[in-house]
Amino acid sequence: MNQSKMHLVNKIFNNETIRTVWDKEKEKYYISIVDIVGVLADSSEPRKYWNWLKNKLKNEENFETSSITRQLKLKASDGKYRMTDVV
């Protein structure tokens, strides 16, 4: 995927920011799973919660989340870009 054809769009949901990337070439949105988990689970540590959930799915359901997710570099709250699971 060509990063230069992607645009970060911050969406607001329940007063929380959901990092969303628009891939112009594929005409597809990619949404940060950590941000979604933080809002839906009302978690103060959404990254830890998401890691716990991924491990639970793998161990109990034998399901690899990598089959439905991918990783993109998204800007974190500290201003640094980090690889983040998106769907």
| pLDDT tens across the length of the chain (87 residues) | 455 466 666 777 777 888 998 888 888 999 999 999 988 888 889 999 999 999 999 999 999 888 889 999 998 889 999 999 999
Q: What are the extents of the domains in the chain? A: 3-86
CA angle 24, 87, 84 (to 5 degrees): 95
Tokens coding 25: 């070439």
Question: 34: burial class by Cβ within 10 Å (0-12, 13-18, 19+)?
Answer: buried
Query: What is residue 22's three-state secondary structure?
Result: strand
Residue 60 is encoded by which pair of tokens? 């109990």
Q: What is the pTM of this model?
A: 0.79
Determine the distance from the C-alpha atom of residue 40 to the mean position of all C-alpha atoms in its chain, rounded to a whole number.
13
